[in-house]
Amino acid sequence: MKCLFIYNPNSGKKKVLKYLEDIKTKLNKIFDEVKIFATSKKGDIKELIKKHCIGIDAVIVAGGDGTISEAVNSIMHLNKKLVLGILPFGTVNDISRNLGIPKNYKKALSLLENKRVFKLDVIKINNTYGVYVLGGGLFTETSYNTSQNSKKVFGKIAYVFHALKKFIKTKTIDLEIEIDKDLHKFKTSFFLIVNSKYVGGQRLCKQSVLNDGKATLILFQNKNAKAKFSDLCKIANLFLFGIKKNYPSTVFVKDINSINFTFSSQFDFNLDGEKLSCKEAKIEIIKEGLNVFF
């Protein structure tokens, strides 16, 4: 089995550089051939996978959720099914948490030795892919707008600082959602489509099944911008205690396998921690769309 190993030297607090030689040694023992590359900018992973996909069977990525997200998109756009391996070195590491991949790199490498594969559901939005969360509204731009320097210094707390700073400026969103050919109109300040157990480092959906072809939509309804202050309490409750079965009528919760969003103007989604802008979004859950070592 041959693999492409790509690492982001800036993930987390650059810890990957400390263990790099050991990782290379172990990967060369696990795989018959290993091609090794570092990223220097966004888009590198896409180019590397596209260039080297012929003749390899797996892509091993060392980095955070943003690095993994880029690898997922690159693999999904290929005609060839490559297996994704993850060595978590990010600040939050939601994707690896959902799959039960240890943050300790030695333990994560031991999973690669077994070559056991999990078929993971994929969220497709228009022509872009993610694997665990799609969101919009309050706080959802925090993960891609928090500076790398702040994350290096403060870790997860950097996200909190940024979120509070942006809270006042966030506006109520007007949107239309088509579910099973039924059209719903909402005013909302926050919504998520969740195909995961963890979001933002918190255990959000304990019962989530990652390969059933479904995801959970949770949307907080309100009539005006002032209602977002009450939504702040609801969001805190959501992240402290997870998704519940019983909510008041102001909270819309539904399991979906496809859904269409239409906004009044260009809208910024957060897909697996990365920014995605569009006015109309056709979303579907691809059952078992990605093979992952776990």
User: Is residue 240's pLDDT more than 80?
Assistant: no
Say whether both 143 and 260 belong to one domain.
Answer: yes
Tens-place pLDDT, residues 23-58: 999 999 999 999 999 999 999 999 999 999 999 999
- State residue 109's pLDDT score: 97
Which CATH number covers residue 39? 3.40.50.10330
The answer to whether residues 108 and 229 belong to one domain is: no
Contacts of 28 (CB under 8 A, 6+ apart): 34
Is 292 part of a structural domain of the chain?
no
Which pLDDT tens digit goes with each residue over 179-236? 988 999 998 888 999 999 998 888 888 889 999 999 999 998 876 555 556 666 777 7
pLDDT of res. 69: 95
d(CA 11, CA 107): 19
- The predicted pLDDT at position 137 comes to 82
Nearest to 99 by CA among 83, 115, 81, 86: 86
Domain residue limits at 101: 2-115
CA distances from 125 to 30, 133, 286 (A): 35, 11, 11
End-to-end alpha-carbon separation of the chain, Å?
16
Residue 53, pLDDT score: 96
Decide if 54 is inside a domain.
Answer: yes
What pLDDT was estimated at residue 155? Answer: 47
Residues 98 and 214 in one domain: no
Pair 161, 265 in one domain: yes
Q: Summarize the confidence of residues 73-98 as an average pLDDT.
A: 94
Cβ proximity of 173 and 136 under 8 Å: yes
Same domain, 137 and 104: no
To the question of pTM greater than 0.85 for the whole model, the response is yes
Looking at residue 161, what is its pLDDT? 44
- pLDDT of 162: 46
